Chains A and B, each alone.
Chain A
């Protein structure tokens, strides 16, 4: 749609007073674009601009990773779901503090690690006896091999739960969430060198704990 104003007097300079709606202006603010087509930062901007449904997109994109992170810490699906909700609520409350120097995923991981560590510190996690370890989905055709893997998995889970907080968080983010050392450093608010050192010590402690358990429960 356009409107044209009266032209200048004949012989004088003529200006084109055409007014037109430029779609790119709206695209710039992200108001009329489908949210699913925007990257995370633009979705955050849209949410800050008042589109609460934009946060649904953030949730849909990251809930699985955050849930898995929480499950690694609490090992109960109900608790993991509660903590995931808590992580996203905190993220929503602090959305204006998202500076954009890290990715939205790393920012959510940072909140997630804090929420999970606070949770496991406040509540002593129940020790799952090896014989009561939940059965995992069978992955191989050999039942004996499958059982061995399940037992090893339960032992590893128990050993990881006994690691110091930072080592535990580092190991979970690196081994199970596949974050780079740089991303882990951003998530934990530390340096890449400290992350690598923590990871090294976490793996050493994990092996030691597993060896001790093997001696205690042959």
Chain B
């Protein structure tokens, strides 16, 4: 039979081993020696008896702990007491912020109030050279032109300045009804100005 494992030796030393293990322990010198070593070590360890404090310690210690517990109760921060009450309100606030940020970050999303402004604004005049003059006079446009003068299309694409593939279609998809109508009107005007004159028929 195999020798006893450490767990079985502890069981045997404490008199909890089953009959098979106990029989082996009686017959096996090596295992018996280990069991005796464990018993001896326990006896040695028990030589260190803790010095018992005065009986007066216990009521004093209990009172001290009681005071500390009551201080703990008083000092508990308000959010612990109100935590469960405030949690739903906090969740609603976080959700509202997340939704606002999400709408703001959405590609092609209309800026709040933009459709109204678009509707109110007079349609820009695309009158050929006049329109170019207007753009040239715009300081923002000048700044963008100056900064991007030395930039190649590849660099602009790599920097993320250009819309991603399909970005224009996605932006179109996100336009609301008023914006779509406005865009259609602008495109129609542009097409009308660039369309070649319809040849007049001989009978005209």
Contact = CB atoms under 8 A, between A and B. Distances in A.
A89 B68 CA distance: 7
A63 B57 CA distance: 10
A83 B70 CA distance: 18
- How many B residues are at the interface, by size bracket? 20 to 34
Interface stretch (B39-47, B93-101, B161-169): B39-47
Contacts of A152: 44, 47-48
Which interface residue of A81, A85, A176, A196 has the most chain B CB atoms within 10 A? A196
Interface string B16-53: 00000000000000000000011011101111111111
A156 B37 contact: no
A92 interface: yes
Nearest to A152: B47
B58 A200 contact: no
Nearest to A71: B50
Interface stretch (A22-30, A32-40, A53-61): A53-61
A149 B38 CA distance: 20
A197 interface: yes
Contact of B61 (A55, A67, A93): A67
Contacts of A169: none
Interface stretch (B3-11, B103-111, B113-121): B3-11
Contacts of B11: 196
Given A52-B69, A59-B65, A63-B61, A207 B47 contact: no
- How many A residues are at the interface, by size bracket? 35 or more
B44 A207 contact: yes
B40 A207 contact: yes
Contacts of B102: none
Contacts of B65: 59, 63, 84-85, 88-89
A197 B7 contact: yes
A193 interface: yes
A109 interface: no
Contacts of A203: 37-38, 41-42, 45
Interface of B: 5-7, 9-11, 37-38, 40-42, 44-53, 57-58, 61-62, 64-66, 68-70, 72-73
